[in-house]
Amino acid sequence: MSSVFGFTYRLWTALPRSLRIVLSRLALLIPQMFGVLVVTFFLVRALPGDPVNLILGNIASPEAVERVRAQLGLDKDIFTQFILYCEGVIRGDWGVSAFTSNPVLVDLSERTPATLELLLYSLILMVLFGITVGVLAAKKPNGFADLTSKVYGLAAGALPDFWVGLILIYLFFTYLGWAPAPFGRLDPGITEPMRITGFLLIDSLLTGDFTAFRSVFAHLILPVATITLVNAGLILKHTHSIFSSSWKQDYVFFQRGCGVKESLITRSALRNSLPPIITMVGFLASFLLGAAVLVETIFSWGGLGQYAVNAVANSDYAALQGFILIASAFTLIIYMLVDIFYELIDPRITI
């Protein structure tokens, strides 16, 4: 037995460090997702409201109520329902939405790419803007970047996203007429490009559909700008604080005294500042999934946020459980990526 463990250990240590980090984090996803599955199932059942009454109304006959309860599987005891639900999740059968009458996986597959595309582009802009301005502000105190970071950092945290979205719609659509109408991801009459990734901007490029590309790009500008303007201040202030501390360390003055290029010194200080910044970006990415609900509503985006709101309002158990599973998987993957990046950047962390 010891020889088997010894061989396994040698095989594990022989793998590249980056691969060991990824495999160790992936192994944690299964028990974490099962815990989410358990908590989600029983908490959703504790919500007030009966989906059968919402489907049939209060004047439905007892026979009709019992028939629908049997169709939804609600006539069985709670533990039997849980076992059947787990079996369905493993098979890919997440139930049927009582609100849309579609399989939950079909609804989620249509809506998840819309939300992820919106969040991905917003997050990229937030990181680029926040880190760039934060570093410039730390390097030149009282300069233009520093004053900008102070003013914007205070204002961004106080502005609600729905207000910023409405202002942008009024200014760029109603008043100036530069932006398209805030209804969905494409202009009316334009066919969606062939589905490859689910991200319309990428799919339109891959298929060479530049008419759709221009329409998708135009529709993305205002919602992405809304999320970026409201949330980039957190990354900016965090970067400014962390990088300012690194920029005053002895190794920076030593490198400068040795004649190292300023760009290399900046890169060195930024790399030492990255772990806490990556942690903040990961936290913000998971937060944006819920924060984008109002933005999706304002721009009629048709993403996960609106789907979750309708599921709660209609006590749609299957849809709500499906949304929570997707949101939990998204959050766990984000935190897994944070751990991976953190350990790849800092070689002192052992696996």
- Domain limits for position 339: 106-345
Residue 223: pLDDT band (50, 70, 90) is very high
Residue 118 scores a pLDDT above 80? yes
Residue 264 lies in a domain: yes
Residue 196 lies in a domain: yes
Q: Put residue 206 in one of left, alpha, beta given phi > 0 → left and psi -120 to 50 → alpha.
A: alpha
Number of structural domains in the chain: 1
> Any residues with CB less than 8 A from the CB of 200 and at least 6 apart, and which?
113, 117, 185, 186, 192, 193, 212, 216
Q: What would you report as the CA-atom Rg of the chain, rounded to the nearest whole angstrom?
A: 25
pLDDT higher at 89 or 19:
89
Residue 238 lies in a domain: yes
Candidates 322, 317, 324, 309; CA nearest to 54 is 317
- Whole-model pTM? 0.81
> Any residues with CB less than 8 A from the CB of 81 and at least 6 apart, and which?
41, 45, 73, 74
Q: What 3-state class would DSSP assign to 146?
A: helix
Residue 102 scores a pLDDT above 60? yes
Residue 319 lies in a domain: yes
137: domain CATH number is 1.10.3720.10
pLDDT of residue 70: 73
DSSP one-letter code for 173: I
Least trusted range by pLDDT, from 70-74, 127-131, 180-184: 70-74
Residue 36 lies in a domain: no
Residue 351 lies in a domain: no
Q: Put residue 234 in one of left, alpha, beta given phi > 0 → left and psi -120 to 50 → alpha.
A: alpha
Residue 45 lies in a domain: no
Averaged pLDDT of the chain: 80
Mean pLDDT is highest, among 115-124, 138-147, 150-159, 281-290, for: 115-124
CA dist 315 and 225 (Å) reads 33
Contact 136, 243 (CB under 8 A): no
Residue 211 lies in a domain: yes
